[in-house]
């Protein structure tokens, strides 16, 4: 009720302002008040994805293997929401609104239909478990903000579903209306851009795309994550299409999507050297595959790191440390022995919590990441508690970064051929955090992105 009155006042003021502007000859941009969808509807207003399955079985099976269908139920989502975010909001009431907002993207039906927050746990099998379901996307009409962010979708439940084909196809179960919004990246940006209570962009995949090369070439999110393929049967009772949008939504949880994203080449500055001499290895890392930065999205959790190792003719192994470049905040991009994430002490209810290891990988490796800092300047994985972002040392779309490794051959290096291998690894969640919070192993397992080797001769 209160909200409505405030909304009404804003509309009044805005129309008053527009009239003045009109009189003074200014052109006025349409200003609309954003509709608040929280608790606006009830679950019975929405159809279950299981119903869509009865006629769209193929698309259902694709979707059910993607993270989209598990955004509310996946183990790490459940742990972070229920064990960190919800208790944090209980300790700091200012956080209640943004933490309720997690559901706006992770379970839009739970957000729009739930009357109490948090919604039921995944084990209670409520409709909130449908996560980002068919209905969520196919009832979306537009984005309410420009740029789109923080579940800015406009959704109205009902039997009218939106899609892209013109003229619209016919279905016995529902009405279909063509909506060009489905061909835009703003459609995805409604959930793939996020601004937190500090006004920090803690997720900006669509914004990264927009300033990158793929936007200029009109290669969109859908082209890489929902490729066109066929012949494919969209619905049981129709003919197959050769250009069906496949609902793969494969991303960071698909090792095959991550593999090869960055191409690596390593070369030495000289091919022969004696023990005690320096060889400088250069590694070029070319982002060939992503339409946004790598990593993107949950950047607070993710790391990609470059490991360079040499093996001499006798099989002895040496680890090479990356050369410093000297930019501000570089220490956050080279692995080392630091404690971080102390801000978890509040939600965990452990005032003495000293933090856990920041990186959890061998020291001296280059890390491609962007650190998030809490209000006290400590690194955090709690994006809602992020007051500042650190140096953005991720690899942009089609960007190439070059790293150098100066290696002084140890005096006991065996003469003969030495193999030097550069490996780029990726982890969804830094391992010390995953282990501390008991997040199942698959979230912190090491995924190979790419590898390349070169050879040098060690002289006797
Ligand atoms: C009784 C069967 C049936 C059910 C149930 C059903 N659909 Fe459909 N749907 C169809 C048919 C048939 C088409 C037309 C396919 C064609 O001709 O390409 C269609 C088309 C569509 C399209 C348009 C595709 C395009 O190419 O433009 C969308 C979107 C869609 N359905 C979404 C849904 C959603 C979401 C649900 C669940 C809430 C659902 N459908 C449930 C039968 C069904
Ligand atoms: C994250 C959003 C999202 C979800 C979830 C989603 N869709 Fe779609 N769907 C789209 C977009 C975007 C298109 C593409 C429109 C286009 O380019 O033709 C599409 C296209 C379709 C089409 C037409 C495919 C074609 O190209 O001919 C059908 C049918 C469809 N969806 C049904 C479903 C069903 C059934 C589900 C649930 C099992 C579902 N969708 C889940 C976003 C979504
Ligand atoms: C040119 C192809 C391409 C385009 C365009 C593209 N992506 Fe990606 N995307 C990828 C690849 C490859 C990966 C896997 C590597 C990775 O995790 O970043 C990926 C990963 C992702 C991930 C998981 C990232 C992570 O590290 O957790 C998300 C989320 C995502 N994309 C969303 C989007 C959205 C939203 C858009 C449009 C604004 C988009 N993508 C455009 C290729 C693309
Ligand atoms: C209603 C909100 C919403 C919309 C709209 C949406 N997404 Fe997502 N998407 C999510 C959430 C939430 C996740 C995180 C799932 C998780 O890991 O818990 C996600 C995850 C992903 C991933 C990562 C999958 C992985 O393997 O890590 C990709 C890729 C992706 N979305 C692509 C898209 C594309 C492409 C579009 C537009 C066609 C889109 N999304 C629209 C909410 C949305
Ligand atoms: C604006 C939409 C939005 C909001 C609000 C949001 N998320 Fe997300 N969340 C996403 C998207 C999109 C991804 C997937 C990004 C990627 O794949 O890298 C994601 C990923 C995650 C992941 C990582 C999942 C994985 O398996 O790697 C966790 C955990 C998570 N969110 C928890 C939360 C919590 C807790 C909140 C509230 C404090 C929240 N999210 C608020 C959109 C949102």
For ligand 1, the distance from its centroid to the CA atom of residue 51, given in whole angstroms, is 10
Whether the predicted pLDDT of 12 surpasses 70: no
Q: Which atom of ligand 5 is found nearest the CA of 384? A: 38
Q: Please provide the distance, in angstroms rounded to a whole number, between the alpha carbons at the two ends of the chain.
A: 85
Q: What is the pLDDT of residues 323-345, one digit of tens each?
A: 999 999 999 999 999 999 999 99
Q: Which atom of ligand 2 is found nearest the CA of 183? A: 17
Whether the predicted pLDDT of 375 surpasses 70: yes
CA distances from 275 to 63, 229, 414 (A): 56, 56, 9
Does ligand 4 lie within 6 Å of residue 60's CB atom?
A: no
Does ligand 2 lie within 6 Å of residue 247's CB atom?
A: yes
Q: Which atom of ligand 2 is found nearest the CA of 68? A: 5
**Ligand 4, atom 22: nearest CA belongs to which residue?**
251
Does ligand 2 lie within 6 Å of residue 102's CB atom?
A: no
**Ligand 3, atom 38: nearest CA belongs to which residue?**
206
Whether the predicted pLDDT of 167 surpasses 50: yes
Length of the chain in residues, anyone?
460
Q: Which atom of ligand 4 is found nearest the CA of 72? A: 18
pLDDT bin (cut points 50, 70, 90) of residue 2 is very low
402-408: average pLDDT? 98
**Ligand 1, atom 2: nearest CA belongs to which residue?**
55
Two structure tokens written together for 73 = 């139920």
For ligand 4, the distance from its centroid to the CA atom of residue 310, given in whole angstroms, is 39
Query: CA–CA separation, 457 vs 460, rounded Å?
Result: 9
Does ligand 4 lie within 6 Å of residue 203's CB atom?
A: no
Residue of 251, 260, 394, 449 to mutate, ligand 3, most atoms within 8 A of C-beta:
251
Does ligand 2 lie within 6 Å of residue 132's CB atom?
A: yes
Does ligand 3 lie within 6 Å of residue 407's CB atom?
A: no
Q: Which of 157, 161, 159 is nearest to 176 (CA)?
A: 161
Give the contacts of 376 (CB within 8 A, at least 6 positions apart). 343
Whether the predicted pLDDT of 222 surpasses 50: yes
Q: Coil, helix or strand for 58?
A: helix
Q: Which of 445, 452, 306, 288 is nearest to 369 (CA)?
A: 306
Query: CA–CA separation, 450 vs 420, rounded Å?
Result: 14
Whether the predicted pLDDT of 255 surpasses 50: yes
Does ligand 4 lie within 6 Å of residue 75's CB atom?
A: no
**Ligand 2, atom 29: nearest CA belongs to which residue?**
234
Q: What pLDDT, on a 0 to 100 scale, did the predictor assign at position 168?
A: 87
Q: What is the pLDDT of residues 281-298, one digit of tens each?
A: 999 999 999 999 999 999
Query: Helices H, strands E: what count in the chain?
Result: 16, 21
Q: Which residues have CB under 6 Å of ligand 1?
A: 47, 51-52, 54-56, 134-135, 138, 161, 163-165, 169, 171-174, 176, 234-235, 237-238
Whether the predicted pLDDT of 185 surpasses 50: yes
Q: What is the pLDDT of residues 131-155, one digit of tens each?
A: 999 999 999 999 999 999 999 999 9
For ligand 4, the distance from its centroid to the CA atom of residue 393, given in whole angstroms, is 23
Does ligand 4 lie within 6 Å of residue 136's CB atom?
A: yes
Does ligand 3 lie within 6 Å of residue 114's CB atom?
A: no
Whether the predicted pLDDT of 1 surpasses 60: no
Does ligand 4 lie within 6 Å of residue 77's CB atom?
A: yes
263-290: average pLDDT? 98
Query: CA–CA separation, 54 vs 65, rounded Å?
Result: 17
Q: What is the pLDDT of residues 173-182, one digit of tens each?
A: 999 999 999 9
Asked whether the beta carbons of 183 and 198 are under 8 A apart, the reply is no
Whether the predicted pLDDT of 27 surpasses 80: no
Whether the predicted pLDDT of 360 surpasses 70: yes
Calculate what percentage of the chain has a pLDDT beyond 70: 93
Residue of 190, 292, 427, 449 to mutate, ligand 3, most atoms within 8 A of C-beta:
292
Query: CA–CA separation, 253 vs 444, rounded Å?
Result: 11
Does ligand 2 lie within 6 Å of residue 52's CB atom?
A: yes
For ligand 2, the distance from its centroid to the CA atom of residue 294, given in whole angstroms, is 26
Averaged pLDDT of the chain: 93
Does ligand 2 lie within 6 Å of residue 56's CB atom?
A: yes
356-368: average pLDDT? 98
254-274: average pLDDT? 98
Q: Which atom of ligand 3 is found nearest the CA of 397? A: 1
67-83: average pLDDT? 98
- Predicted TM-score of the model (pTM): 0.94
Q: What pLDDT, on a 0 to 100 scale, did the predictor assign at position 34?
A: 74
Q: What pLDDT, on a 0 to 100 scale, did the predictor assign at position 442?
A: 96
Q: Coil, helix or strand for 300?
A: coil
247-262: average pLDDT? 98
438-445: average pLDDT? 98
Q: What pLDDT, on a 0 to 100 scale, did the predictor assign at position 291?
A: 98
For ligand 4, the distance from its centroid to the CA atom of residue 192, given in whole angstroms, is 7
Whether the predicted pLDDT of 33 surpasses 70: no
Does ligand 2 lie within 6 Å of residue 163's CB atom?
A: yes
Whether the predicted pLDDT of 200 surpasses 80: yes
Query: CA–CA separation, 354 vs 340, rounded Å?
Result: 8
Whether the predicted pLDDT of 226 surpasses 50: yes
């Amino acid at each position: 009720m209160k909200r409505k009155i405030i909304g009404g006042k804003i509309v009044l003021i805005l129309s008053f302002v527009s009239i003045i502007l009109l009189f003074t000859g200014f052109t006025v941009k349409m200003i609309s008040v954003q509709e608040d969808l929280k608790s606006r509807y009830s679950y019975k207003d929405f159809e279950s994805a299981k119903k869509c399955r009865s006629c769209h079985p193929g698309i259902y099976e694709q979707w059910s293997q993607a993270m989209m269908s598990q955004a509310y139920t996946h183990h790490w989502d459940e742990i972070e929401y229920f064990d960190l975010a919800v208790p944090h909001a209980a300790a700091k009431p200012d956080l209640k609104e943004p933490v309720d907002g997690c559901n706006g993207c992770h379970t839009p039906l739970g957000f729009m239909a739930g009357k109490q927050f948090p919604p039921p746990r995944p084990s209670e099998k409520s409709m909130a478990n449908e996560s980002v379901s068919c209905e969520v996307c196919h009832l979306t009409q537009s984005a309410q903000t420009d740029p789109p962010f923080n579940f800015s979708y406009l959704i109205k439940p009902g039997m009218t579903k939106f899609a892209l084909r013109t003229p619209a196809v016919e279905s016995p179960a529902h009405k279909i209306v063509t909506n060009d919004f489905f061909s835009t990246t703003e459609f995805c940006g409604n959930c793939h851009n996020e601004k937190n209570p500090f006004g920090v962009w803690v997720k900006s995949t669509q914004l990264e795309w927009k300033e990158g090369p793929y936007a200029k070439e009109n290669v969109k999110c859908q082209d890489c994550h929902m490729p066109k393929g066929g012949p494919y049967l969209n619905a049981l009772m129709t003919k197959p299409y050769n250009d069906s949008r496949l609902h793969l939504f494969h991303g960071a949880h698909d090792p095959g999507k991550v593999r090869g994203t960055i191409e690596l080449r390593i070369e030495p500055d000289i091919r022969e050297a004696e023990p005690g001499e320096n060889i400088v290895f250069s590694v070029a890392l070319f982002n060939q595959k992503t339409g946004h930065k790598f990593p993107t999205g949950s950047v607070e959790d993710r790391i990609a790191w470059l490991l360079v190792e040499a093996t001499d003719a006798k099989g002895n192994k040496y680890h090479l440390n990356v050369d410093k470049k000297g930019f501000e905040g570089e220490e956050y991009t080279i692995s080392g022995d630091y404690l971080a994430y102390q801000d978890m002490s509040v939600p965990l209810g452990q005032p003495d919590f000293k933090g856990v290891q920041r990186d959890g990988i061998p020291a001296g490796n280059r890390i491609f990441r962007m650190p998030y800092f809490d209000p006290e300047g400590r690194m955090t994985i709690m994006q809602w508690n992020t007051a500042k972002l650190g140096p953005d040392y991720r690899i942009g779309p089609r960007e190439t970064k070059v790293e150098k490794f100066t290696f002084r051959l140890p005096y006991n290096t065996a003469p003969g051929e030495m193999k030097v291998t550069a490996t780029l690894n990726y982890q969804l969640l830094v391992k010390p955090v995953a282990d501390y919070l008991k997040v199942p192993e698959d979230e912190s397992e090491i995924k190979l992105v790419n590898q390349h080797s070169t050879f040098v001769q060690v002289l006797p």
